[in-house]
Structure 1
Amino acid sequence: MAFEDVLQWAGDTGCFQVLAVSLGVLIGVMSSSYEFLENFTAGIPEHRCSVHLLDNPNPEANVTLNLTVEALLRASIPMDPNGKPEQCRRFRQIQWQLLDPNASAGNNAELETEPCLDGWTYDQSVFTSTIVSEWDLVCNYQSFKYLAHSITLMGYLLGITVSGFTSDRYGRKPLLVFSCLACGVLSICCGFVPTFSIYCTLKFLSSAFVSVIQTNLIIIVLEVTAANWKPVVVASQLLSGNVGHIFLGGLAYAFRDWRRLQWVFGSPFLIFFLFSCCCFTESIRWLLVTGKTQQAAKELKKIAYINGKKDVVQNLTTEALISKMGEVTVPRNHFQMKQIIVNPIIFRIILCGFILWFSSVFSSYGHILDIQSLGQDIFTSQLLMGTVNFFSSLSVFFMIRHVNRKPSLFLFVFLFGSSHIVAIFVPKEMHILRLVVFLMGRATISILMGIFTAFFLELSPTIFRSTMLSIFTVAMRLGGTVSALVLMTKQYFIHLPGILYGVLPLATSVCILFLPETFNLPLADTIKDIENRFRSKTTREKQRRELLRTTEC
């Protein structure tokens, strides 16, 4: 608990903490909304085969001058069972006989059809332009839309893989600042690309840097604030993601062109780059645990100055800091990656955490990536999803402060998995009921993610926290990538994705039994702290009492 004492000395509740949490929320809003931007930039508008009589009319063809658009469509494109033009086929020749009101509809199946050889015509009432209409990613090429989703999610995997080890070795702040700059530049450039392949390349890179931002953001905010700020930090980061969903729906409604929407979402990251240079300090915990006490003293002086403690600024020296921290300060060469694999307790945490995060996000992305299946206005659905997530996330603050981790995890995993199973039995025609079940699932997964975040941060020592969180985030991104690919199986068995989304989190919840309870425990700094929590219930109770003593008002 020496770290809590040192932070109290420099000011653990002041302007600096408010500034850090606020900036973290703003960055979280943009990074979370950017993650689901392709719901709109890759939206599928209504479309049909292009027909010369309709899309490139010949003024000399007087025969068509007195015909309506509906009549020309009927003669040019076969109708589906719902009475709408087929999206992927057209008649090989214009069938003028179909304009006769006495013509039999039963002979339509015998008429020769062909693919859309001249391309497609898209309805622009919902989307002015998307990557689907830009590069004709429909019909036989519709799988490329999901391929773009998967490539984006693979970019997240790359960023997470690199950021964990790099952050634990070189620090949190440099990686966060550079990633904000890179993400802003790449996102803006993505709005200028001429081809689908270049688009996928830039989205791959930009999503990699977004994942670095998301991974490091909560860690750096959490490690520069005291333990009594933990519920606030976790809840605010979760709420920022939900506000991001609402924000995404509003901006996507205002900017219907995918290129403009891409520019709008890329620009704020350049502003965040400037603010993060000035407003964030390096993680105090990381500096102390890796033996950088001189730099830690410098950063603590900055915190004390912002919090108005001028006497601390004058008296805070490296020697005073070392005496306060005592045994917590260790040399830098104690950082050894092999301990993550060799140590059985750390390995157990990583294995169980990987399975739990994978299954939860796998099912969660099944909701989000297939939002158009609700059958209602996509903008309204996105707005409702963000609103429900926002209000459900308000309860996370209460859950983290007052409820044990493991029982609450079991409860919300069960509710979330059940929502997917129930949705299978709700007919598509019952739009309202499907939306209610969908929103109930979003509410439970929102709370579940908040508890998961607090739980595994408490199970990760400072010296490995970024690496372990990156491993868990790899599980999340891998789950999201597989989830996008599973959606492609709907064309073979429409209920298969829903069954997998519901059963997997229920089956993997058994992993929670193999982890210790961490309610009311401080963040661990060393592997020894984690080992004590597994082996000694008395140690956990002692740490809880010490935390309550240090953080009480």
Structure 2
Amino acid sequence: MANTFLSASSDHYCQVLNNQTYTDNSILRNCTIPYEVDDDGDIEWSKCERFNITRYDECASDQLATIECDNGWVYDTDTYESTVVHEFDLVCDKDWLKQMSKSIVLFGKLVGALVFGQLSDRIGRKPVFFFSLIFGIVVGIITAFSPSYAFFAVGQFFLGTAASGMYLVGFVICVELVGPPRRTFAGTMITAFFAIGYMILAVIAFLLDGHWRKLQFTLSALCIPLLSYYWLIPESVRWLVQQGKYDKAEKVLEKAAKMNKVTLPENIFDEQRLELDKKVEIEEKEKKYNMFDLMKTPRIRIRSLNIFFNWFCNSMVYYGLSLNTDGLAKNAYISFFISGAVELPAYALCIVLLDRTGRRIMLTTFMILGGAALIASCPFLEDESLQWAASSLAFFGKFCIAGSYLIIYIWATELFPTPVRNAGLGVSSMSARIGGIASPYVMLLGDYIWIPLPFVIFGVLSIMAGLLALFLPETLHKELPETMEEGEQFGVKTKKNKKNANPPNEKMDASIQVDFDDIDMTVVPSESATNGDVVNPAYSTSHSDEKD
């Protein structure tokens, strides 16, 4: 989220003298910069052109020829003391580069989720967490001293990869260290603290006057205290058990039992040691499924495409609103703070109503109301006197999209059949990442075509996704599909299907069900359910960021 401030834009016009400042209202600007007067009598100075004159001590009213800025620009520093845009002149024909710096972070997060996700499944959660933590600190501090925009952009990419390792793997460790009754609470609190961090970022940026180098350095330095977690946090017990490292798992549980003042049974993993061999033998004989199996049967194919589109829309709208809050209110810091604050009640509402009203009705309601609010804000975006109305509707849209993003995570995990659940979540996350990467460029359309156009696009996509969600079956209080056949027939109410359906206990030999006392399915979105990352503690994969 920091790129909202690192790459923030300010008003600007062509620089004529090297010591010129934006607030210079002398004859210098009046005679060198073209301008237009709107219907309200306000003057809008040209941002990319100046009059082609050599004298600036007197006005040349008959001088109409203009040229592009040839000596740089001067920037309004009232809000931001210094940003990447200011320092590297990412304006006019380079305006797209400031949006690229936002997209490249999300692309880095995608790559990081794939790389660190596989590593955490192979070598453990804890070493991967600390490698990504140290890597992020080092890269972040180096990026703060970037000599060029290219250097900065590369640094943002690697910061994105490190962020995936820190957040996702850290999330997995947290969720895997608590029992089933506490998983939803633990995951929800992580999501809530993400929103709190979202708000604190606005405060830090404000205290640093929006100076991008100071902000980048501070955010990196704030991660240094997390190194103390090396002595505070153990390796995931669940991962140790899955890897057959029972001695190490017992040591972790013994420490936990001592702290909680309870007694562990003796030889706690003897049964698992015997059952693990049987499980491996059977798994070797079972068919292996992948993401291509999602497209082989008609109902699963249509539902999968529907889910992918919903993730794509949710991510695009969420990041489109989150990374461009400076256009929603006069004070960019307050606007960003509110944008994070509205997520907290959205998550609270989902917790209260999601298991009562169902997934379908809540997702559809959130998406349609959010989309309608964004479209309704369009008439007010071009009128500064009605900025409050546009901001209110946009923040309500953000409230709705935050809630819908959380719901689609949970719902998608329940809809995909067990054999392709990880594959489905992996492709869903890819779809979300594509939407997030595209969102800054959609916002750029407002600068070049029509100011409300991005909100129209976001609103239409939200409504379309909400309406399409009506065609997905409800999963509340339903037995989830465990086979591809059940997935194909899930939600189809026919007597024949009910009659031929096999009871779950007949499909899986109880002797191979390793009872870790925590293999229940709890899905909580990471990073405030906004970024396309998912963590599912009940399932493990090595080909996407949905690892556990």
Residue of structure 2 in register with 1:133 after alignment: 86
Separation in 1, partners of 2:437, 2:83: 21
Say if 2:223 is the partner of 1:281.
Answer: no
Judged with a 3 Å threshold, the aligned counterparts in structure 2 of structure 1 residues 486 and 342 are, in CA distance, closer, same or farther, namely closer
Residue of structure 2 in register with 1:508 after alignment: 465
What amino acid is aligned across from residue 319 of structure 1 in structure 2?
Answer: D
Q: Percent identity?
A: 24
Correspondent of 2:456 among 494, 499, 508 = 499
Separation in 2, partners of 1:146, 1:50: 23
Aligned counterparts, 1:221-236, within 5 A: 221-236=174-189
Q: Is the 8 A contact 1:53 1:72 kept in 2?
A: no
Say if 2:382 is the partner of 1:428.
Answer: yes
Residue of structure 2 in register with 1:182 after alignment: 135
Paired positions, count = 484
Correspondent of 1:331 among 256, 280, 290 = 280
Say if 2:291 is the partner of 1:341.
Answer: yes
Say if 2:476 is the partner of 1:476.
Answer: no
Separation in 2, partners of 1:290, 1:276: 21
Q: Is the 8 A contact 2:48 2:68 kept in 1?
A: yes
What amino acid is aligned across from residue 47 of structure 1 in structure 2?
Answer: H
Residue of structure 2 in register with 1:315 after alignment: 266
Residue of structure 1 in register with 2:11 after alignment: 46
Q: Deviations over 1:190-225 (max 9, x none)?
A: 101111111111110110121233333433333332
Pairwise CA distance, 1:55 = 2.4
Separation in 2, partners of 1:366, 1:393: 19
Separation in 2, partners of 1:520, 1:408: 15
Say if 2:2 is the partner of 1:37.
Answer: yes
Separation in 2, partners of 1:518, 1:233: 23
TM-score (norm 2): 0.77
Pairwise CA distance, 1:379 = 0.7
Say if 2:26 is the partner of 1:70.
Answer: yes
What amino acid is aligned across from residue 249 of structure 1 in structure 2?
Answer: A
Pairwise CA distance, 1:444 = 0.9
Say if 2:113 is the partner of 1:160.
Answer: yes
Aligned counterparts, 1:173-322, within 5 A: 173-255=126-208, 256-275=210-229, 278-282=232-236, 284=238, 286-288=239-241, 293-309=246-262, 311-312=263-264, 315-319=266-270
Residue of structure 1 in register with 2:540 after alignment: none
TM-score (norm 1): 0.76
What amino acid is aligned across from residue 463 of structure 2 in structure 1?
Answer: L
Residue of structure 1 in register with 2:50 after alignment: 90
Q: Deviations over 1:225-274 (max 9, x none)?
A: 22322331332232122112211110000112111100111123333243
What amino acid is aligned across from residue 492 of structure 1 in structure 2?
Answer: I
Residue of structure 2 in register with 1:385 after alignment: 339
Pairwise CA distance, 1:332 = 9.1
Q: Is the 8 A contact 2:354 2:362 kept in 1?
A: no
Say if 2:108 is the partner of 1:143.
Answer: no
Q: Is the 8 A contact 1:223 1:283 kept in 2?
A: yes
Separation in 2, partners of 1:229, 1:331: 30
Judged with a 3 Å threshold, the aligned counterparts in structure 2 of structure 1 residues 173 and 357 are, in CA distance, closer, same or farther, namely farther
Between 1:211-220 and 1:373-382, the stretch displaced more is 211-220
Structure 1: runs of 5+ lacking an equivalent: 1-35, 57-67, 100-106, 542-546
Judged with a 3 Å threshold, the aligned counterparts in structure 2 of structure 1 residues 43 and 402 are, in CA distance, closer, same or farther, namely same
Q: Is the 8 A contact 1:234 1:450 kept in 2?
A: no
Say if 2:395 is the partner of 1:439.
Answer: yes
Pairwise CA distance, 1:338 = 4.6
Between 1:143-152 and 1:386-395, the stretch displaced more is 386-395
Judged with a 3 Å threshold, the aligned counterparts in structure 2 of structure 1 residues 45 and 172 are, in CA distance, closer, same or farther, namely same
Residue of structure 2 in register with 1:414 after alignment: 368
Q: Deviations over 1:353-384 (max 9, x none)?
A: 43221111112222123323225111110111
Q: Deviations over 1:47-99 (max 9, x none)?
A: 2222228629xxxxxxxxxxx84333212322332324322222222365549
Q: Is the 8 A contact 1:460 1:530 kept in 2?
A: no
What amino acid is aligned across from residue 455 of structure 1 in structure 2?
Answer: W
- Backbone CA RMSD of aligned residues: 3.8
Q: Is the 8 A contact 1:187 1:266 kept in 2?
A: yes
Aligned counterparts, 1:107-122, within 5 A: 111-122=64-75
Residue of structure 2 in register with 1:374 after alignment: 328
Judged with a 3 Å threshold, the aligned counterparts in structure 2 of structure 1 residues 53 and 151 are, in CA distance, closer, same or farther, namely closer
Judged with a 3 Å threshold, the aligned counterparts in structure 2 of structure 1 residues 513 and 391 are, in CA distance, closer, same or farther, namely closer
Structure 2: runs of 5+ lacking an equivalent: 491-496, 506-516, 522-548
Pairwise CA distance, 1:148 = 1.5
Separation in 2, partners of 1:294, 1:349: 43
Separation in 1, partners of 2:341, 2:327: 19
What amino acid is aligned across from residue 42 of structure 1 in structure 2?
Answer: S
Q: Deviations over 1:407-453 (max 9, x none)?
A: 21121121222222222233422100001001101111122222233
Q: Is the 8 A contact 1:161 1:470 kept in 2?
A: no
Q: SS at the partner of 2:314?
A: helix
What amino acid is aligned across from residue 363 of structure 1 in structure 2?
Answer: V
Pairwise CA distance, 1:287 = 4.6
Separation in 2, partners of 1:181, 1:461: 38
Q: SS at the partner of 1:80?
A: strand
Identify the structure with the greater helix proportion: 1
Judged with a 3 Å threshold, the aligned counterparts in structure 2 of structure 1 residues 355 and 292 are, in CA distance, closer, same or farther, namely farther
Separation in 2, partners of 1:179, 1:333: 35
Separation in 2, partners of 1:360, 1:454: 14
Q: Is the 8 A contact 1:361 1:480 kept in 2?
A: yes
Q: Is the 8 A contact 1:150 1:481 kept in 2?
A: yes
Between 1:331-340 and 1:236-245, the stretch displaced more is 331-340
Separation in 2, partners of 1:169, 1:197: 34
Q: SS at the partner of 2:279?
A: coil
What amino acid is aligned across from residue 43 of structure 1 in structure 2?
Answer: A
Separation in 1, partners of 2:249, 2:176: 12
Q: SS at the partner of 1:48?
A: strand
What amino acid is aligned across from residue 389 of structure 2 in structure 1?
Answer: L
Separation in 2, partners of 1:434, 1:372: 13
Q: Deviations over 1:162-216 (max 9, x none)?
A: 3444444444333323222211211111101111111111110110121233333
